[in-house]
């Protein structure tokens, strides 16, 4: 572990602390947070921790804290609220990392990063889809093992129907790619906007049930909140017809606990999954024992551009908050 502490000679400036960092974000944060030296004292730790007491020790005296992958327990949140005025998150799904209603009740402002990785996550969703359809990774492994891949039955995506659950920035980016490769696009969202639907030659699904029952591919693109937590359950998953594919690069908690594994165990559908209820994923997690799922370790957003976008937006958010004009506030 090491940390930067800039500027050390300005005790008059407010303190901004990054107490724990996702390794992939370290280079971007080193550059972008250091640029705040004229408006704040910046203390940045470059390792990743899980212990709440160590977290509190590191943010002692901080006015703002940047949260990059750390899960804040309620007792930790109550203690830090005595001096931390703002929590700045390195992403959008903050409900996975902090008790949002409790933070509001304690008077802690929360800001997130928005639209920083729409294209990156969308490309990853399509990459999972292509891997399931064409098995490029499997074919590559076969050749490197000295086996000539001579299997048929691969899936052509052109002409298939992809159903998008949610149509925000990532959903629209997926629609753009899917439309480009000749897929038919259907969309379910609470407040459909006809103009972007037309832009991607997409059509609204009559209902969520209609989308799950009528699409070859279903891809989830919802934010996690109390309205979406567990909204996809056994009922919806049962409607997936044999041979269909489910992609989840959003949040695991959108699917009811255990429901996806149970559905996959029937063996008649495939899934591409980048997010999990508990991360890092345990080596004995049942989803890893299933042959009909492609898994990646929550890396959909981790492109160089997206990582820098997070750091830039977080730094801008800190400047705005200290100037009295908070941006990207989570309400």
251 is catalytic: yes
Residue 149 within a domain: yes
Residue 329 within a domain: no
Residue 170 and residue 207 share a domain:
yes
Catalytic residue among 32, 251, 270, 328, which?
Answer: 251
172 is catalytic: no
Using a cut of 0.85, tell me whether the model's pTM lies above it.
yes
104 is catalytic: no
Residue 157 and residue 82 share a domain:
no
The pLDDT value recorded for residue 225 is 87
Q: Find all residues with CB under 8 Å of 34, minimum gap 6, and list them.
A: 4, 6, 42
Catalytic residue among 54, 199, 262, 279, which?
Answer: 279
Across the strands, what pairs with 196? Answer: none
Residue numbers of the chain with a pLDDT score lower than 50: none
The pLDDT value recorded for residue 194 is 67
Structural domain containing residue 97: 3-116+304-322
The pLDDT value recorded for residue 216 is 98
Q: For 181-233, what is each residue's pLDDT tens digit? A: 999 999 999 876 767 789 999 999 999 999 999 999 999 999 988 899 999 99
- What CATH number is given to the structural domain containing 193? 3.40.50.720
Give the sign of the dihedral formed by CA 318, CA 320, CA 325, CA 326.
negative
Q: Which of 92, 74, 76, 95 is nearest to 19 (CA)?
A: 76
Residue 328 within a domain: no
């Amino acid at each position: 572990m090491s940390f930067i502490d800039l500027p050390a000679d300005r005790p008059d400036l407010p303190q901004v602390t990054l107490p724990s960092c996702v390794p992939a974000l370290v280079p971007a944060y080193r550059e972008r947070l250091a640029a705040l030296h004229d408006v704040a004292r910046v203390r940045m730790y470059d390792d990743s921790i899980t212990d709440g007491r160590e977290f509190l020790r590191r943010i002692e005296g901080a006015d703002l804290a940047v949260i990059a992958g750390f899960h804040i327990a309620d007792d930790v949140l109550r203690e830090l609220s005595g001096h931390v005025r703002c929590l700045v998150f390195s992403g959008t799904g903050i409900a996975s990392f902090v008790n949002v209603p409790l933070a509001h009740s304690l008077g802690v402002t929360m800001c997130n990063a928005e639209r920083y990785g729409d294209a990156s996550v969308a490309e990853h969703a399509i990459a999972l889809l292509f891997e399931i359809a064409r098995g490029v990774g499997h074919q590559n492994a076969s050749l490197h093992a000295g086996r000539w891949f001579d299997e048929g039955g691969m899936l052509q995506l052109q002409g298939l129907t992809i159903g998008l659950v949610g149509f925000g920035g990532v959903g629209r980016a997926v629609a753009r790619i899917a439309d480009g490769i000749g897929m038919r696009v259907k969309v379910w969202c609470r407040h459909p906007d006809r103009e972007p639907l037309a832009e991607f030659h997409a059509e609204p699904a009559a209902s969520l049930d209609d989308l799950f029952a009528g699409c070859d591919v279903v891809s989830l693109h919802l934010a996690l909140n109390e309205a979406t937590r567990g909204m996809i359950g056994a009922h919806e998953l049962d409607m997936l017809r044999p041979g269909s594919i489910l992609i989840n690069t959003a949040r695991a908690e959108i699917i009811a606990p255990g429901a996806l594994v149970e559905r996959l165990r029937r063996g008649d559908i495939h899934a591409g999954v980048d997010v999990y209820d508990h991360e890092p994923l345990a080596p004995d997690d049942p989803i890893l024992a299933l042959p009909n799922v492609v898994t990646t370790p929550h890396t959909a957003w981790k492109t160089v551009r997206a990582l820098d976008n997070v750091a830039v937006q977080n730094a801008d958010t800190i400047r705005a908050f200290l100037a009295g004009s908070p941006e990207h506030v989570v309400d």
